[in-house]
Amino acid sequence: MSRRVEDRTLVESLRDRVCARPLPRHVAIIMDGNGRWAEARGLPRVAGHREGSESVRAVTREARRVGLEALTLYAFSAQNWARPPDEVEALMRLLADFLDTERAEIMDNAIRLGAIGEIDRLPSFVRERLDRVRRESAHNRGMALTLALSYDAREEIAQAARRAVRKVGPEVGAQDLEAELSTSALPELDLLIRTSGERRISNFLLWQCAYAELAFSEVLWPDFRELELLEALSDYQSRERRFGLTGAQVATRHRTA
């Protein structure tokens, strides 16, 4: 049996098990390892980003297939602007191509596309495509797919705090600030995945991941596909989420729910 067939069999079997148990409502992914994937193969870094865009497609489709309510992808950080100009240009072109090629599938599957971050910093050819798909998909009721673009979590929190203070004054509370975050319309973050073996959050959804489960995969993002996502979801389902309670208290709550 070929590896491809073996993987497909594993995917279908694992998907059935994952779908039979409670899923996280909101999953976020730090997509890391494109450059290392390319360099290990003697290819230019852009080749890794191009292959990584295929992982975005595969993972998004699988997330929708199993029934996630929300998927947030860390596509480009505010700090990524400091990368070599040709790499940044290539990333922006890939993003524009993704928005063009996936537009029909987004609409056909009732996906609602959103974006967080400093969107105004994106080049106009990206902003125009992003605005169009966001506008066209705004009333869709399927999975919410959010792209974090030119995103900086500390700056997001600072801006949210300023807006909250203007609205409610100096006695601003956690709920007031949370209501001003760019993710306020999304379910609470349940699972944060990072690929490539790194174990950092890298200034991504710092407020939102306060009680999220964290999963770190050794797989580089261009090799992270349906099977790897399902494995992360299965691992999440095996964990006991206590939110400060004891295991006994959680068990009692489940019995009386």
pLDDT digits (tens, 9 = 90+) for 170-181: 999 999 999 999
Tens digits of per-residue pLDDT, 34-90? 999 999 999 999 999 999 999 999 999 999 999 999 999 999 999 999 999 999 999
Per the annotation, the verdict on 80 as an active-site residue is yes
Tens digits of per-residue pLDDT, 183-232? 999 999 999 999 999 999 999 999 999 999 999 999 999 999 999 999 99
Give the helix/strand (H/E) hosting 178: helix 174-178
* Model confidence, pTM: 0.93
- Choosing from 7, 16, 34, 80, the catalytic residue is 80
Q: What CATH topology corresponds to 23-239?
A: Undecaprenyl pyrophosphate synthetase (3.40.1180)
Contact predicate 192/213, CB 8 Å: yes
Per the annotation, the verdict on 108 as an active-site residue is no
Contact predicate 217/30, CB 8 Å: no
- Nearest CA to 237 out of 8, 15, 9 is that of 15
Residue 160 has pLDDT above 90, yes or no: yes
- Choosing from 32, 34, 152, 190, the catalytic residue is 32
Contact predicate 48/35, CB 8 Å: yes
Dihedral sign of CA atoms 185, 213, 156, 202 in order: negative
pLDDT at 2: 45
Instruction: Please report the DSSP string for 105-152 in residue order.
Output: HHHHTT-EEEEES-GGGS-HHHHHHHHHHHHHHTT--S-EEEEEEEE-
Q: Kindly list the domain boundaries of the chain, sorted by start residue.
A: 23-239
